[in-house]
């Protein structure tokens, strides 16, 4: 008999929509012992969140997210709000006895992330779980890459090269909230480096020991003010006549470092890499083989087998769409019927439900303990960029 767990979603923006879709889809595509019941969605505008609930199939909506912590039918709180609310909401939810899944980056600051990690440790004694939505782990090609490394197919790893290149942040883009530090926390760094640090750690199974050097840059220092968003900064940042305001986040943050098992690694996140719209890329070079992934071709994994007949070696494009061999695929469509961005979320929902039902996930879920390590790297990179010096990971508690 399938039991269900009530989901309480906080946030009805782009991410709220992606999660809502996934909670609906998981019940159809996957067969798990725990069924997701879309109980409540919380937002800021009564009208908008009500429409959202109707559209995506929640039983009800609210503008008081805390009310969900008193609803006995809700067992899981899903946080998709601005980064600076993650800690408050996640900790409250854990303390109220709910499981939590929170969007990335884990938090706006390391301190908040630490508080979340500590709350999760405490809650785990009561059998509760807390995860961060590093959705790309469940892109079949990425999950398969993780499995290949685990099977020893790469051998000793020499290089990790991670990039998340976007290009929507050109000079014509106005001063959206994402460019305002107090709302967004950081720019490309928290938004994009968070993903690729997690992916690099997840696929290699290794950890950074040092950030050796880093560059933080805000290329576009002033942006056109937008009605509504411009408000909060009109006092300080706006140059009156031109109706321009100051961008207070990074457009780009790149860093390099070393890993425990001897690899060197580089990371780059930017919103000004013209022509690269969603180039979430990872390349790993090992002694026995190499892997390459680019989200812009998310159904494929490139693989170089360095152990076969030298004359036949080449970069091989594996379509990770084979139900028999690639993770998650059997739940969707027949071989080579591509899946998309949203399926990573659906597959993560399925693993969350599996764990809540007492089973193991197909590949490891990023729990708060795990995600905290990514947050430490984010912090170390920022420190290195600002203090212009190498930062040992051991400095960052």
Under rule CB under 8 A, which residues in 92-131 are in contact with a copy of itself?
A: none
**Residues of span 212-231 touching a copy of itself by CB under 8 A:** 212-215, 217, 219
In the list 270, 350, 374, 375, the residue contacting a copy of itself (rule: CB under 8 A) is: 270
Does 369 participate in binding a copy of itself (rule CB under 8 A)? no
Binding residue (CB under 8 A) for a copy of itself from 60, 95, 167, 222: 167
**Nearest distance from residue 396's CB to a copy of itself, in Å?**
17
- What the block records as the tokens of 186 is 């950081």
Q: Residue 164 forms beta bridges with which residues?
A: 269, 280
Interaction mask 370-389, a copy of itself, x per CB under 8 A: --------------x---xx
Binding mask 137-156 for a copy of itself (x = CB under 8 A): -------x------------
Asked if residue 256 binds a copy of itself (CB under 8 A), the reply is yes
Looking at the DSSP bridge assignments, the partners of residue 283 are: 161, 292
> What is the closest distance, in whole angstroms, from the C-beta atom of residue 159 to a copy of itself in the complex?
6
**Is 181 near a copy of itself (CB under 8 A)?**
no
Q: Does 395 contact a copy of itself by CB under 8 A?
A: no
Paired sense of beta strands 289-294 and 99-102, if any: unpaired
Structure tokens at 78: 């899903």
Start-to-end C-alpha separation, the chain: 45
| 312 scored as a contact of a copy of itself (CB under 8 A) | yes
Among 97, 205, 231, 314, binds a copy of itself (CB under 8 A): 314
Q: For residue 51, how far is the Cα from the chain centroid?
A: 27
Shortest separation between residue 181's beta carbon and a copy of itself, angstroms = 20
CA distance 27 to 30: 6
Picking from 290, 369, 339, the residue whose alpha carbon sits closest to that of residue 113 is 369
Residue 90's φ and ψ, nearest 5 degrees, are -65, -45
Q: Does 274 bind a copy of itself (CB under 8 A)?
A: yes
Question: 289-293, long-range: CB within 8 Å, 24+ apart, which pairs?
Answer: 289/148, 289/153, 289/154, 289/155, 290/154, 291/145, 291/148, 291/149, 291/154, 291/203, 293/139, 293/141, 293/142, 293/145
Backbone angles phi, psi at 206, to 5 degrees: -115, 165
Does position 341 interact with a copy of itself (CB under 8 A)? The reply is yes
> Taking the CB of residue 292, how many other CB atoms lie within 10 A of it?
20
Part of the chain binding a copy of itself (CB under 8 A), chosen from 64-72, 105-113, 227-235, 322-330: 322-330
Q: By rule CB under 8 A, what count of residues binds a copy of itself?
A: 93
Binding mask 34-73 for a copy of itself (x = CB under 8 A): ---------------------xxx----------------
The least distance separating a copy of itself from the CB of residue 254, rounded to whole angstroms, comes to 6
**What's the chain's length in residues?**
397
Exactly one of 316, 360, 386, 395 binds a copy of itself (CB under 8 A); that residue is 316
Closest CB 220 distance from a copy of itself, rounded Å: 9
293 binds a copy of itself, rule: CB under 8 A: no
- How many CA atoms lie within 13 Å of 83's alpha carbon, on the beta-carbon side? 25
Q: Is 24 in the site for a copy of itself (CB under 8 A)?
A: yes
Q: Which DSSP string do the residues of 322-350 spell out, in sequence order?
A: -TTTSTTGGGS-STT----HHHHHHHHHH
Of these, 92, 229, 264, 357, which contacts a copy of itself (CB under 8 A)?
264
159 binds a copy of itself (CB under 8 A): yes
Residues 6+ apart with CB under 8 A from 115: 87, 91
Instruction: Tell me if 18 contacts a copy of itself by CB under 8 A.
Output: yes
Among 127, 228, 275, 358, binds a copy of itself (CB under 8 A): 275
């Amino acid at each position: 008999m399938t039991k269900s767990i009530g989901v309480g979603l906080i946030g009805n923006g782009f991410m709220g929509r992606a999660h809502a879709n996934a909670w609906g889809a998981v019940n159809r595509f996957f067969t798990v012992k725990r069924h997701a019941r879309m109980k409540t969605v919380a937002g800021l505008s009564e009208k908008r969140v009500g429409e959202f609930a109707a559209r995506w199939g929640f039983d009800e909506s609210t503008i008081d997210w805390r009310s969900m912590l008193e609803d006995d039918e809700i067992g899981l709180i899903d946080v998709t709000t601005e980064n600076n609310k993650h800690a408050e909401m996640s900790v409250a939810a854990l303390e109220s006895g709910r499981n939590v899944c929170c969007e990335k980056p884990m938090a706006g600051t390391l301190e908040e992330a630490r508080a979340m990690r500590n709350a999760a440790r405490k809650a785990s004694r009561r059998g509760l779980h807390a995860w961060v939505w590093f959705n790309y782990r469940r892109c079949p090609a990425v999950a398969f890459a993780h499995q290949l490394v685990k099977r020893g197919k790469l051998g000793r790893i020499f290089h990790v090269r991670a990039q998340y290149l976007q290009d929507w942040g050109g000079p014509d883009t106005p001063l959206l909230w994402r460019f305002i530090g107090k709302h967004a926390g950081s720019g490309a760094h928290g938004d994009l480096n968070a993903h690729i640090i997690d992916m690099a750690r997840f696929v290699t199974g290794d950890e950074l020991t040092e950030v050796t050097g880093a560059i933080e840059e805000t290329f576009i220092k002033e942006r056109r003010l937008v009605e509504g968003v411009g408000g909060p900064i009109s006092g300080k940042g706006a140059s009156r006549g031109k109706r321009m305001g100051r961008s207070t986040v990074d457009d780009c943050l790149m860093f390099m470092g070393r890993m425990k098992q001897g690899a060197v690694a580089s990371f780059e996140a930017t919103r000004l890499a013209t022509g690269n719209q969603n180039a979430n890329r990872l390349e790993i070079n090992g002694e026995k083989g190499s892997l390459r992934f680019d989200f812009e071709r998310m159904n494929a994994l490139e693989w170089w087998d360095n152990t076969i007949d030298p004359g036949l070696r080449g970069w091989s494009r594996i379509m990770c769409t084979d139900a028999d061999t690639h993770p998650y695929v059997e739940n969707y469509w027949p071989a080579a019927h591509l899946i998309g961005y949203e399926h990573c979320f659906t597959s993560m929902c399925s693993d969350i439900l599996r764990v809540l039902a007492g089973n193991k996930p197909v590949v490891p879920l990023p729990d708060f303990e795990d995600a905290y390590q990514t947050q430490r790297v984010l912090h170390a990179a920022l420190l290195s960029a600002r203090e212009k010096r190498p930062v040992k990971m051991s400095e960052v508690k």
